[in-house]
Amino acid sequence: MCSPEYFAVEYAINPWMDVTAPVDPELAVKQWDRLRETLVGLGHEVHLLAPEPGLPDMVFAANGAFVVDGTVYGARFKHHQRTDEAAAHRAFYESQGWRFIAPNETNEGEGDFAYLPEAHGGLILAGYGFRTELPAHAEAQEALDRPVVSLRLVDPRFYHLDVALASIDDGNVVYYPGAFSTASQRVLGQLFPDAVLADDSDALAFGLNLVSDGANVVLNSEATRLAGRLKAAGYTPVPVELAELKKGGGSVKCCIAELRR
């Protein structure tokens, strides 16, 4: 995770960003810190990436890379405003001794990649259509030695896979069908017949931008209906308030890069 010490909405690179809407930096840090404390309280170890001035979106740490079994496939951001974040993420992983593979193709890390180790023998779901380019899916497959299923995003409000779909355990997902092309919806239905489906109100509340450890699901507190559906499916919803960071187009998952050793 990376503190939103320098978080601001200084430019608009997704439909949620409004440069005229004021951001409360102190509240953003407070809400982010509560998320960090929630993860620690659930028994997880949190590593911190130092924020850098001039990079207001560094708080969205999930976008910096994608990690599977100790191998890191680095990010290459679409928009120039975020380009310099990639080097900070690479330095973090290399300092920790991770195997880092630099990308040649445009991709935004866990923003557009999700890993399910027990689904069909180990499967990467990969989004494209707005940020990550389709050739990055093949590059990730070669780098990480896992099959990749490409899913086309068609609604600009759901510009990353992680605002439209999330893994809720090692073999199942929750997603909003309307974010995907008709063909991609069919693929998801075939792969995950027992998936939890979200409605548009859950999706627009950033409810799908969540993190699950297989039992506890940390999600945006505005997504009350989705929390009920997850509870009915046997998970424990853990709501958190992240209204300030939502102004940048992100929520729980955007703030968390998962380290899979």
Catalytic residues: 160, 254
CB atoms within 10 A of CB 55: 17
Find the helix or strand (DSSP H, E) in which 186 lies: helix 182-191
Q: What string of H, E and C letters represents the secondary structure of 80-106?
A: HHHCCHHHHHHHHHHHCCCEEECCCCC
Find the helix or strand (DSSP H, E) in which 128 lies: strand 123-128
Dihedral of alpha carbons 19, 152, 64, 124, sign:
positive
Dihedral of alpha carbons 176, 178, 180, 181, sign:
positive
Nearest to 16 by CA among 109, 221, 198, 155: 155
Read out DSSP for 106-118?
A: -B-GGGTEEEETT
Q: What string of H, E and C letters represents the secondary structure of 195-247?
A: CEECCHHHHHCCCCCCEECCCEEEEECCCHHHHHHHHHCCCEEEEECCHHHHC
Structure tokens at 87: 């080097």
Dihedral of alpha carbons 214, 58, 7, 209, sign:
negative
How far is residue 246's CA from residue 230's CA, in Å, rounded to a whole number?
Answer: 21
